[in-house]
Structure 1
Amino acid sequence: MGTMQNYVEPRVAVFVDCDNTSPDILDYALKIASQFGRIVLRRGYGNHTTLAKTWQQALVEKAFTPCLQFQYAAGKNTSDIALGLDALEAMFDGRIDRFCLVTSDSDFAYLCRKLRERGATVSIIGEAKTPAALRNASDQFFEWAHEAGEPENQHDSKASPAVSAPREKTLVKRRPKFVVDAVALLAGQTPDGQVHLSALGQYLKRTDPAFSPDVYGYSGLVDMLKTYDLLVLTKAEGGHYTVQLGANDLVGMQPR
């Protein structure tokens, strides 16, 4: 009972770089952020044109606080600076445990590094154009595709083919070799040559914040590992999985 009473739900901040992305990303961003805890800060940063013409309705509907920043000089983006300062302030005040930054702007890579250095967890929610410098500066990167937001906003019959196209791509399943390399590395450090699935998943996320089995056409990591001839997946009595290299591991480590 004491454990339940002392449990404090993680506090999450969702800061949106409105000058850099579309309002269609907002639903996806909130779904991602909600899995980490209670969203206590919702803020959208942008100039007058962006907030008034493009983002006003979305920010109002999703209960975001608009943070308007005027441009004091041409070419100066004061919104980025405001977002960065507010994030640091929230961290130092101890109000936030996890930051979800909605942007594809690599200028925020340094902010991500500083937040993580101070113990905060940072997720980036961005588009495919997001540079590797920003992806790798985060703890976890979530890629949003513009097509994902279209079905909710479009009601004509012409939208159906566009919706099914991305799903068809997931049918082509791929088996990246770096998963085998990760198992070889982690399992090689254990006495029985096996690595728990949770540890493997955490390692893959740390090395590639954008890693997700569904990107390669799988419903989950278990589904993905089952397709590897070089890996042996074992289910323990408690329902936990372990994975290890198969008998042909040395052959499998050779480039194909």
Structure 2
Amino acid sequence: MADHAKLAVLIDADNAQPGLAEGLLAEVARYGTAHVKRAYGDWTDNHLRGWKDQLLDLSIQPIQQFGYTKGKNATDSAMIIDAMDLLYTGRFDGFCIVSSDSDFTRLAARIRESGLTVYGFGERKTPAPFVAACDRFIYTDVLGKPDSDNEKPAELAPRMKTQELRKDTRLVNLLRNAIEDAADDTGWAGLGAVGSMVSKRAPEFDSRNWGYGKLSGLIAAIGLFETEDRQHGNGKHIYVRNNKKKPAARE
């Protein structure tokens, strides 16, 4: 179960805002337990001073890495070396790599080659190859965008309306294809299976990117799919299918 997954959280502090740390770890908790929490950077540099309270309050271990040469980022190398050391211990089920830097693309791919799950966290500017190398990629703005002055989470973007959602052809086609692939002979597919199928095809997919907390809410807002609740034991499960095309009217 995801709750029992042992995760290593590695943060590129040079490339991530401290105001996101609390929301980040809350998101990590959805996928497992953070057995290792490390933040890498040159802690003698004043630009990282905003991280101090976060490190203490959230029990994140700071890893000191001096910049040996001006213009070269030694932090990335330190993170990669530590990640491989942790990987070889065989104690973890997955890694959370927090950075918007494409330098971690090969690291993510290597960890996945070992059969472990990789969760990436970064800004919208994160290069596509790094996003694609992860099993799941979460854009940090959905966790609450930090204010530059007080680093407090700001409100998320408002929900996109039905007309706007329908114009997003990539989104609509992604959902249609996922439903079709996960459906049974009657055309119905469990929402959980649909979500898994979508994530495999688009690691960055997250209903919060469109302002919806859950996939069910996003699908309902689009209004192009049929849904129904089914009782299984003591719980309800949502099923979805593509709307059937209506026969053309006869003249």
TM-score, normalised to structure 2, is 0.81
Q: How far is 1:78 from its partner? A: 1.8
1:139 to 2:135 alignment: yes
- Could you report, residue by residue, the CA deviation over 1:205-254 in whole angstroms, capped at 9, with x for unpaired residues? 11112212232233422222234454221222212222222221799xxx
Q: Which residues of structure 2 form unaligned runs of 5+? A: none
Task: Tell me which residue corresponds to 1:221.
Answer: 215
Q: Does the CA-based 8 Å contact 1:51-1:66 persist in structure 2?
A: no
1:115 to 2:108 alignment: no
1:86 to 2:82 alignment: yes
Task: Tell me which residue corresponds to 2:101.
Answer: 105
Counterpart secondary structure, 1:170: coil
Task: Tell me which residue corresponds to 2:35.
Answer: 40
Q: 1:177 to 1:63 in 2, by over 3 A?
A: same
Pick the aligned partner of 1:204 from 177, 191, 198: 198
Task: Tell me which residue corresponds to 1:235.
Answer: 229
Counterpart secondary structure, 2:100: coil
Task: Specify the code of the residue in structure 1 equivalent to 2:159.
Answer: T
Task: Specify the code of the residue in structure 2 equivalent to 1:117.
Answer: E
Matches within 5 A, 1:169-208: 169-173=158-162, 174-175=165-166, 176-178=171-173, 179-187=175-183, 190-208=184-202
Counterpart secondary structure, 2:45: helix
Number of equivalences = 236
Q: How far is 1:68 from its partner? A: 0.9
Q: How far is 1:52 from its partner? A: 5.8
Q: 1:81 to 1:53 in 2, by over 3 A?
A: same
Give the percent of matched residue pairs that are identical in Structure 1 and Structure 2. Answer: 28
Q: Does the CA-based 8 Å contact 1:171-1:217 persist in structure 2?
A: yes
Task: Tell me which residue corresponds to 1:248.
Answer: 245
Task: Specify the code of the residue in structure 1 equivalent to 2:242.
Answer: L
- Could you report, residue by residue, the CA deviation over 1:50-102 in whole angstroms, capped at 9, with x for unpaired residues? 67644333323322211111222233222111111111111110222121111
Pick the aligned partner of 1:124 from 103, 107, 120: 120
Deviates more, 1:21-30 or 1:145-154: 145-154
Q: 1:220 to 1:80 in 2, by over 3 A?
A: same
Q: 1:202 to 1:152 in 2, by over 3 A?
A: farther
Q: Does the CA-based 8 Å contact 1:230-1:249 persist in structure 2?
A: no
Task: Tell me which residue corresponds to 1:58.
Answer: 54
Q: 1:247 to 1:38 in 2, by over 3 A?
A: closer
Q: Which residues of structure 1 form unaligned runs of 5+? A: 156-161, 252-256
Q: How far is 1:16 from its partner? A: 0.6
Q: 1:51 to 1:10 in 2, by over 3 A?
A: farther
Q: Does the CA-based 8 Å contact 1:18-1:50 persist in structure 2?
A: no
Counterpart secondary structure, 1:148: coil
Q: Does the CA-based 8 Å contact 1:230-1:247 persist in structure 2?
A: no
Task: Specify the code of the residue in structure 2 equivalent to 1:245.
Answer: N
Task: Specify the code of the residue in structure 1 equivalent to 2:133.
Answer: A
- Could you report, residue by residue, the CA deviation over 1:147-194 in whole angstroms, capped at 9, with x for unpaired residues? 633499479xxxxxx945x44x2153424322123223433xx32222
Q: 1:198 to 1:249 in 2, by over 3 A?
A: farther
TM-score, normalised to structure 1, is 0.80
Matches within 5 A, 1:2-17: 9-17=4-12
In the alignment, the residues of structure 1 paired with residue 207 and residue 97 of structure 2 have an alpha-carbon distance, to the nearest angstrom, of 22
How large is the Cα RMSD of the aligned pairs?
3.0
Q: 1:103 to 1:237 in 2, by over 3 A?
A: same
